[in-house]
Chain A
Amino acid sequence: MEETLIETDVLGVGGGIAGLMSAIRARELGVEVTLAEKANTLRSGSGATGCDHFRAYIPEFHGNDIDSVIEEVWHSQVGWTRSKEFIRTWMERSFDIVKLWDSWGIPMKYRGRWEFAGHAFPGRPFTTLKYSGQNQKTILTKEAKKRGVNIINRVMVNDLLYQNGIIGAIGIDTREDRIFIFLAKSVILSTGGCVRLYPSPTPGWLFNRADSPNTTGDGRAMAYRAGAELSNMEIPMRWAGPKYFARCGKATWVGVIKDPNGNPIGPFLKKPDRRYGDAIADVYKNLFEDYTRSGKGPLYMDCRGISNEDYQYMMHWMKHEGNTAIVNHLLEEGIDIRKNPIEFMTYEMTTRGGILYNERAETSMDGLYAAGDEYFGGVSCAATFGWIAGENGAIYAKNKERPRFQTFKDEIKEKKAFLENIRTRRIGPTWQEVNIALNQIMFDYAGAIRYENLLSAGYKQLKRLKEKAYKAIIAQNPHELMRVLEVLNLLDIGEVILLAVNERKESRDKYFRLDFPFQNPLLDGKILICKMKRNKPIFEWRKIKA
């Protein structure tokens, strides 16, 4: 394998919304910035072909009452897993980001006004701004290039280099047999969500996912291996949307969730209303699964009765939410949402948790920052904390000396040998086999049903799978090597989750343990931190300021 050495001030890992924003801001502060992206920043990440909603506090719309907006957003984020300081910082800075994006050509206004709609309850504050994000990635890429960010596409960064703090990272070229060695003064991880951990809603089709199936928790995994703190890994997260085409954007549908007899399920609305979407799908994502299994399904997103104006409105936003493939599919199949109710389903589980980062985007390691769906938050969170990460990552870099390659020669040699070994194997399990085997374990042992004996059985099985994967997994080309590394990352994350779920011996909000069905007041106001020590995860309960 060839080697390419890149020395830079700030290394951004992941060129999605958060990554691009961090690179743009860091560069504005005058440091050298390299942004390594697994695919191509033009269309990568979960923001690929758009997003139509952006959590924000806008004084011109909300008036002076930022507190009620903070409260509303805090609740929507499964409030007890994130500190209110974090949400406050986010809301305080969100309007600046909105104005910035608008100035760059991402239309943040609709027909000349701030349009707040969706993800809302009648009588409570609106917190989600509708915006036209179809070309957001192209525009952000342009802004990054304009400022002289060095974007390197088709590179998967997979391991951090550290010595009393972060020094850089190692990655692979996803199209050629080459490793990249980055020496940096600070690193910003923005690798997105943690998809492909559990079976997809259509288990025979691995890549049918609501969020980008390319975001496989790489940042979480490498941060964990480097000894940084993760949090809330035991908290499950599920999404919901059209069955069987897994996609985000349920709040873009202007309809009512109804049972087969045409009765609305939720208490929020009886007729399609473009201001709200049907919030029952937000507060109860398991709704579809629960009702179908208990004889009350199937459930439908029913847009019948929608006005012509609201239909045009919805179609505009479907495009910007990145759902043109669904719209095309409906057209081809002759499905008209004004006449045909669409079945909705609950999608697969993943973890809500990730790298613990505070409102300054700092992680527990010096020089290491994180932003975006490294800890789930959506586009607005990614954009705001990407910006903050870039700012703080750049300031940190300015006060540091550049690390030296000599210090890491052995580590790099070892890593290269490991990768080359995988590439020379001819017989063994493919990455698909390992991915599917992992999906099964997560679904069966740490899925909706969770209890101690099951979790420890699952853990043993996962360890066996991990050992076999490391010994024998094969990759016939650089693309498959990328997929191999993704799956090895997911194995690390799966291991943490199985142990973390075992640690939280209670039930709370959407977290449920069959063997501990009560809420334990001793755990009020606390989050579960996980960190690697001597190759194993160790856990700590920590109080967060509410």
Chain B
Amino acid sequence: MPPIIDEKLCIKCGTCVNICPQDVFFGSKKKKVPKITYPHECWHCNACVIDCPKEGAIKLRIPLPMNICYR
């Protein structure tokens, strides 16, 4: 389910919680690894991935219904 946080890399800065346009991380606590409370409301905009200061700490898993079709 989108997004996925690597708890070992996460520095608990809260940036993703602060900026998420859908408030997917609603209810997260300061200085703790964020909770992905509403994974179905993720727009997959990538804002959290772009703004996270620690490379690799957060990424998106694109759900199967949204996988791109190609030849």
- Do residues A206 and B26 form an inter-chain contact, with CB atoms below 8 A? no
A residues touching B (Cβ–Cβ < 8 Å)? Answer: 39-40, 42-45, 48-49, 134, 154, 174-175, 202, 204-209, 212-214, 242-246, 298, 300, 322, 324-326, 328-330, 332-333, 335, 340-343, 477, 479
- On whether A48 and B21 interact (CB within 8 A), knowing A205-B40, A212-B43, A325-B46, the answer reads yes
User: Contact partner of B23 among A39, A212, A243, CB < 8 A?
Assistant: A39
Report B6-49 CB contacts with A as 1/0, cut-off 8 Å.
Answer: 00000000000011111100110000000001101111111101
User: Contact partner of A43 among B47, B62, B67, B69, CB < 8 A?
Assistant: B47
User: Contact partner of B46 among A49, A243, A332, A333, CB < 8 A?
Assistant: A49
Contact partners of B27 in chain A: CB under 8 A: 477, 479
Cross-chain pairs A/B with CB under 8 angstroms, 26 sampled: A40-B20, A45-B21, A49-B46, A154-B23, A175-B26, A206-B40, A213-B43, A242-B68, A244-B67, A245-B44, A245-B67, A298-B69, A300-B70, A322-B45, A322-B46, A324-B50, A325-B44, A325-B60, A325-B62, A326-B68, A329-B68, A333-B68, A341-B70, A342-B69, A342-B70, A343-B69
- Do residues B71 and A300 form an inter-chain contact, with CB atoms below 8 A? yes
Contact partners of B44 in chain A: CB under 8 A: 208, 245, 325
The distance from the CB of B23 to the nearest CB of chain A, in whole angstroms, is: 6
The distance from the CB of A81 to the nearest CB of chain B, in whole angstroms, is: 28
Contact partners of A244 in chain B: CB under 8 A: 65-69
- Do residues A205 and B63 form an inter-chain contact, with CB atoms below 8 A? yes
- On whether A174 and B23 interact (CB within 8 A), knowing A213-B41, A341-B70, the answer reads yes
Considering the chains assembled together, what is the distance between the CA atoms of A335 and B20 in angstroms?
28
User: Contact partner of A207 among B22, B59, B69, CB < 8 A?
Assistant: B22
Contact partners of B38 in chain A: CB under 8 A: 479
Contact partners of B22 in chain A: CB under 8 A: 39, 207, 213-214
Which of B19, B38, B51, B67: most chain A Cβ within 10 A?
A: B19
Considering the chains assembled together, what is the distance between the CA atoms of A256 and B45 in angstroms?
26
Contact partners of B65 in chain A: CB under 8 A: 202, 204-205, 208, 244
The distance from the CB of A416 to the nearest CB of chain B, in whole angstroms, is: 22
- Do residues A329 and B43 form an inter-chain contact, with CB atoms below 8 A? no
- Do residues A43 and B51 form an inter-chain contact, with CB atoms below 8 A? yes
Contact partners of A42 in chain B: CB under 8 A: 18-19, 51
- Do residues A324 and B71 form an inter-chain contact, with CB atoms below 8 A? no
Considering the chains assembled together, what is the distance between the CA atoms of A49 and B48 in angstroms?
10
Considering the chains assembled together, what is the distance between the CA atoms of A202 and B64 in angstroms?
10
Q: How many residue-residue contacts, CB under 8 A, span A and B?
A: 120
**Chain A residue, CB-CB nearest to B70:** A340
- On whether A40 and B50 interact (CB within 8 A), knowing A209-B43, A343-B69, the answer reads no
User: Contact partner of A341 among B47, B59, B63, B71, CB < 8 A?
Assistant: B71
- Do residues A343 and B70 form an inter-chain contact, with CB atoms below 8 A? yes
Contact partners of A134 in chain B: CB under 8 A: 50
Considering the chains assembled together, what is the distance between the CA atoms of A334 and B24 in angstroms?
28
**Chain A residue, CB-CB nearest to B48:** A43
Considering the chains assembled together, what is the distance between the CA atoms of A342 and B26 in angstroms?
35
- Do residues B19 and A43 form an inter-chain contact, with CB atoms below 8 A? yes
- Do residues B21 and A40 form an inter-chain contact, with CB atoms below 8 A? yes
- Do residues B68 and A40 form an inter-chain contact, with CB atoms below 8 A? no
Considering the chains assembled together, what is the distance between the CA atoms of A154 and B69 in angstroms?
36
Considering the chains assembled together, what is the distance between the CA atoms of A45 and B21 in angstroms?
7
Considering the chains assembled together, what is the distance between the CA atoms of A206 and B66 in angstroms?
11
The distance from the CB of B22 to the nearest CB of chain A, in whole angstroms, is: 6
Contact partners of A213 in chain B: CB under 8 A: 22, 41, 43
- Do residues B43 and A207 form an inter-chain contact, with CB atoms below 8 A? yes
User: Contact partner of A212 among B21, B49, B69, CB < 8 A?
Assistant: B21
User: Contact partner of A44 among B21, B41, B51, CB < 8 A?
Assistant: B21
- On whether A342 and B41 interact (CB within 8 A), knowing A213-B22, A328-B46, the answer reads no
Considering the chains assembled together, what is the distance between the CA atoms of A244 and B37 in angstroms?
24
Considering the chains assembled together, what is the distance between the CA atoms of A455 and B22 in angstroms?
33
The distance from the CB of A145 to the nearest CB of chain B, in whole angstroms, is: 14
User: Contact partner of B40 among A45, A174, A207, CB < 8 A?
Assistant: A207
